[in-house]
Amino acid sequence: MAQRLELHQTFLTMVQNVYFQPPPSVQMKYPCVVYHRDYKDTKFADGMPYANRKRYQVTVIDINPDSTIPDQIAAMPMCTFDRFYTADNLNHDVFKLFF
């Protein structure tokens, strides 16, 4: 959990509103970063696990289509851009991030 909290703090340096697995009842404020775990990569040697890395799906939601927040997320190590879409007049940039 300490790693996730470190990731959360990293996002807070980029944007004021950060949400981890928000329930539907949460009223989000924009711009924001929403993230959740979506995968775990395990490496094996002799049938035994020796390394685990958690991957997060990170979504930047912003009214501004020219926001610099997605560029900041994209510059993080082990981060790849996944897709972009708009919904409810909001821009969504989705990334996959190992942390």
The letter for the amino acid at 95 is F
Residue 64 resides in a domain: yes
Residue 78 resides in a domain: yes
Task: Kindly state the DSSP code that residue 4 receives in the 8-state scheme.
Answer: H
Residue 1 has pLDDT above 70, yes or no: no
Residue 48 resides in a domain: no
Residue 2 has pLDDT above 90, yes or no: no
Residue 34 resides in a domain: yes
| Domains identified in the chain, total number | 1
Q: Each residue of 34-82: pLDDT tens digit?
A: 999 999 999 999 999 988 899 999 999 999 999 999 999 999 999 999 9
**pLDDT at position 58:** 98
Of the CA atoms within 13 Å of residue 46, those in its CB half-sphere come to 1
The model carries a pTM of 0.91
Residue 24 resides in a domain: yes
Residue 20 has pLDDT above 90, yes or no: yes
Q: Which domain holds residue 31?
A: 2-42+53-98
Residue 47 resides in a domain: no
